[in-house]
Chains A and B, each alone.
Chain A
Amino acid sequence: MKRPGPLLTLLAGLVFAVFMLSLNAMTGTKNASNPYRQASPGVSVSASAPSASSSPSPSTSPSPSPSRRALPNADYAGRTDDNSSAVAVSLRGGKAIAYFCDGHDKESWLKGDVKDDGTMKLTGGNGDELNGTLQDGKRIRGTASVGGQRYGFTADRAIKPSGLYRATATVRGAKVDGGWIVLPGGKQVGVVERDGTPSAAPVIDPETGAVTIDGQKIIARPVTP
């Protein structure tokens, strides 16, 4: 004599899991319809924090590109050749977002598409530009032109908690926008802008993204294009 109930329970869970997984696989690489980012103001941040709207990657409608399979969804982080600054690039579904940051007062967010051959030309504000080539999915090698200066850089594949983080919030009336690059090995390079004025960023907890800025705890989130 066998009871069918437990088996049905297991099968229901399995079907549910597969359903959730396929839902994730379909929406995971989309940005516009990804509420994870829209909900990105941190836990203790007021609900009015304009995080999604101040994002440098306004919702570009995702076109299912055939290159999605060839290009990895991965993060890359490394330093410029002169060791003055850090560069991180996050790839998802053929799109890229990059952050250039010297840890003091120079930073730039750049974004663009990645071609099938692994080359990318990302653009940011003030004519900033980043040209890079993905090499075997292991690293990105290229040049970044930020603030009128040109830097060669190499960014190696970054495994969590290394990678690119961003936090936007309103702290004591000031619009705060912080970016962090957690390098392989754990060293951090970050800049926080308060109402557009950049300065060195306090250290984040890479595991949780928690960071205290001007006495208020906010959460930095992994950045995806």
Chain B
Amino acid sequence: MTVDPNAATRGFPSPPPAHGGPNPARYLVPALVAAAVAVGLGVYGKVHDPAGTAFNLAGFSSTGAVKSWLATTAFFFALVQLVSALMMYGKLPGPGWASALHRWSGRIAFLVAVPVAVHCLYALGYQTYSTRVLWHSLLGCFFFGAFSAKMLLLRWERLPGWLLPIIGGLVFAVLTAIWLTSAFWFFRTFGVTT
């Protein structure tokens, strides 16, 4: 591929990097957005006065139960993510629609996690009064930053092959830790209840 440096550029934010050498700016933007999201959520959780309550869904005994089940749903789809990703990379035999499965299970997992996070940040805030709570607060903020970074990185087609698996694995591991410090803890403390 020849590159004419004077040629009119088509894509707006990523004009010249077609010649293979990765433009650092393309990583800078997702990294900055990720940091902004994570820090922003943490600061909001710390500064906002925890309301203590928020609205609940009918049929559940407490918001804790609602959140635990939503989080468990998100975690289930995250497992689907892991399996479908392994299929896409040929580590597991899988159907042709593995990538569609990956996209849509990811979207569902993300959208299911959003109301849980909103409730956490609105009603409870960023808390540090125990090890579990500290890690949950920290990783909860980190998760949405890392997820934003992955979504932004996905927009480019030419990426180093190891990058997406690393980030995807990170997002999955963090979500697992968040689930363990919240829903798993809730079910163990209060019983598997609705």
Contact = CB atoms under 8 A, between A and B. Distances in A.
B111 A12 contact: yes
B154 A6 contact: yes
Interface residues on A, range: 35 or more
B152 A39 contact: no
B111 A16 contact: yes
A3 B58 contact: no
A2 B155 contact: yes
Contacts of A221: 62
A131 to B, nearest CB: 25
A9 B171 CA distance: 16
A54 interface: no
A65 interface: no
A214 to B, nearest CB: 19
Given A21-B122, A72-B49, A35 B55 contact: yes
Contacts of A43: 61-62, 65, 190-191, 193
B62 to A, nearest CB: 6
Contacts of A29: 51
Contacts of A173: none
A13 interface: yes
B55 A73 contact: no
A3 B191 contact: no
Contacts of A16: 111, 114-115
Nearest to A2: B155
Given A9-B151, A24-B122, A43-B62, A35 B56 contact: yes
B127 A160 contact: yes
Contact of B114 (A2, A20, A35): A20
Contacts of B118: 17, 20-21, 24
Contacts of B133: 207
A154 to B, nearest CB: 21
B31 interface: no
A219 B62 contact: yes
B117 interface: yes
Contact of B130 (A21, A74, A207): A207
A16 B152 CA distance: 18
B107 A34 contact: no
A161 B156 CA distance: 45
Interface residues on B, range: 35 or more
Nearest to A41: B61
A80 interface: no
A213 B52 CA distance: 24
A13 B152 contact: no
B157 interface: yes
Contact of A6 (B51, B122, B151): B151
A1 B17 CA distance: 12
Nearest to B60: A39
A24 B51 contact: yes
A224 interface: yes
B63 interface: yes
B152 A6 contact: yes
Given A43-B61, A161-B129, A208-B189, A28 B53 contact: yes
A86 to B, nearest CB: 19
A35 B66 CA distance: 12
Interface in B80-118: 103, 106-107, 110-111, 114-115, 117-118
A222 B53 contact: yes
A66 interface: no
Nearest to A90: B52
Nearest to B54: A24
B63 to A, nearest CB: 6
Given A43-B190, A222-B53, 14 more contacts: A3-B155, A4-B155, A6-B151, A6-B154, A12-B107, A20-B119, A24-B119, A34-B53, A35-B56, A39-B61, A43-B191, A73-B49, A208-B189, A210-B190
Q: Which 4 A-B pairs have the closest CB atoms?
A: A6-B151, A6-B154, A20-B118, A36-B53
